Amino acid sequence: MARKFPHSYVVCKCRNVTLGEIIYSIKEKNADSIEKIGESTDAGTCCKCCQSKEKDIGVEKMELYLEQIVKSLRNRWKKKS
């Protein structure tokens, strides 16, 4: 899912956190949940619209959510195990 977005894509608009920062947080800081990503990058800690489609209260909907990123990575990790 996240592969079709550039690393410069802003996932969290409130905190201006990019996909690249989130990927770095996951790979280098072992942030493997929305909560840990938030602790590491501040993504999803303000309005929480970027966490999931259900929490997105904005008129213009997000294209990529933290939930999707975490789920995609977990699926990839399972395949490697």
The domain locations on the chain are: 2-74
> Over the stretch 10-52, which tens digit does the pLDDT of each residue have?
999 999 999 999 999 999 999 999 999 999 999 999 999 999 9
Burial of 4 (0-12, 13-18, 19+ CB in 10 A): exposed
Q: What is the pTM of this model?
A: 0.88
pLDDT at 22: 96
> Over the stretch 29-38, which tens digit does the pLDDT of each residue have?
999 999 999 9
Query: Please, are residues 22 and 43 in contact by the beta-carbon 8 Å criterion?
Result: yes
